[in-house]
A and B are shown apart, each in its own frame.
Chain A
Amino acid sequence: MVGWEVPIGAAIAFSFGAIGTGWAQSRIGAAGAGAIAEKPETAGTIIILEAIPETLVILGFVVASMIILMVK
């Protein structure tokens, strides 16, 4: 029997990852916009940098999935 703690645990794992990603992307996005405004040729690099924090939310999603699927 799965209790209330499993979905709550999964939610925490996912939400903290998402919040961290959002915070990091906002900072990188602002700085990236500034960099592209001055040097448009850096756009490719900035998009990659902007995507890097996505790993956090993906990790959170994986952990949340593992909690839901593996905790019985």
Chain B
Amino acid sequence: MDWGYINARIRGMKSRLLDHRTLDNLILQPDMDSLMAELEKTAYREDLIEAKGKYTGVTAVEYALRNNFVRTFRKVLNFSKEKEARLFISIFLHRWDVQNIKTILRGKNIHVTNEEIVDCLVPVGELDEAALTELVRQPDVKAVIDLLATWDIRWARPLTTAFPEFARSGDLGMLECALDRFYYNDALLAVSGKGANNAKIRQVLSLEVDVVNIKTILRMVRDRIAVEDAQKFLLEGGQALDQKMIARVLVLPTIAEAAAMLSTTWYPTMHPTRYRFLATIPEDVLRAQKISVIEKQLERHLVREGVDSFLGDPLSVASLIGYFWAKYNEITNIRIISRCKTADFPVENLREELIYV
């Protein structure tokens, strides 16, 4: 496995990511036009010029970012010829398949126009633009699932299984949860073998599962969901939380207490420092049950852990994982900046919304 070549290319690509100063410069731009002018001085130039021919303002930026994201990861997949590298990259790209299918299902469920759905898709995974466009053309949720099943695409399996439950309850969460569960189970199974690369990917996926589960648990505590019902929404494959811990947290009356318990270190399977930051969340945020603030902290934690992979063995999948997270974070940051510019959001508050890595 020639990780040297892949790693060198990834590090070359990493050097083109925007640094803190450039991000600060983007934040300080007074309006959308000057923001786009600044972005044209970066690696997004090509995509932005193309986007400006079709759209204007924030829509053009969104389009350019999406194109850049797709182009970047297709390029990574193309230069990674080895089977093992392609498997690892596919695991990370499949999440956008899941995301795209969820977007289409949500759109179909609330009868959004096809154009609006297409604008929200990121065709970077196994499902390319043509396949996604065909899925969007379907009249309803069932037709989308049927088409996936006809194409014999893996994501049809969990959707077909969960569809009767969705048909009964009308809760799209059932389908989304089934998709997530299938994605993580499938990915963890693919990297269940021995070796440092498999272990690294398992660690990253488990961390994601834990973060998703913590978010879900906090929501369930807020909405007072019964422990028995909770299992339907939780993912398997995490490391920090086991069934006993989940049951203990779910019976707590407030988010503050749940966050306090999740941040403690006494629990034997809990990483000693991993979720300690939950204890630092201001009391008024917890009292007001502002889950979005806690979710932002968890997201920050996930991105930082992912980007820290760059510090791992250079002749392994570590730098690839680091780059995925760094690029994802950069695009998220630019999207936040461009959205905030259109809404005249104060610069000081805007900085707090970004995740610097």
Contact = CB atoms under 8 A, between A and B. Distances in A.
Interface of A: 27-28, 30-35, 37-39
- Chain B facing A: main interface SS: helix
A37 B13 CA distance: 10
B268 interface: no
A39 B15 contact: yes
A34 B15 contact: no
A33 B12 contact: no
Interface stretch (B1-9, B94-102, B134-142, B175-183): B1-9
10 contacts: A30-B4, A30-B5, A32-B8, A34-B6, A34-B79, A35-B9, A35-B12, A38-B8, A38-B12, A38-B13
A30 B4 CA distance: 6
| Residue among A30, A31, A32, A37 having the largest count of chain B Cβ atoms under 10 Å | A31
Interface in B1-52: 2, 4-9, 11-13, 15
A47 to B, nearest CB: 15
B7 A31 contact: yes
Nearest to A28: B4
A37 B4 contact: no
Nearest to A42: B12
Contacts of B13: 38
Given A30-B5, A35-B11, A38-B9, 7 more contacts: A30-B8, A34-B4, A34-B12, A35-B8, A37-B9, A38-B8, A39-B12
A26 to B, nearest CB: 9
Contacts of A34: 4-9, 12, 79
Contacts of B7: 31, 34
Contacts of A38: 8-9, 11-13, 15
A28 B52 CA distance: 41
A31 B2 CA distance: 9
B280 to A, nearest CB: 39
A10 to B, nearest CB: 32
Nearest to B16: A38
A27 B4 contact: yes
Contacts of B6: 34
B313 to A, nearest CB: 14
A28 B8 CA distance: 10
Contact of A30 (B2, B11, B12, B15): B2
B15 to A, nearest CB: 7
Contacts of A33: 5, 8
Contacts of B12: 34-35, 37-39
B17 to A, nearest CB: 12
A38 B8 CA distance: 8
A4 B5 CA distance: 43
Question: Which 10 residue pairs across A and B have the least CB separation, nearest first?
Answer: A38-B12, A34-B8, A31-B4, A34-B9, A34-B5, A31-B8, A30-B5, A35-B8, A30-B4, A39-B12
A17 B79 CA distance: 32
Contacts of B79: 34, 37
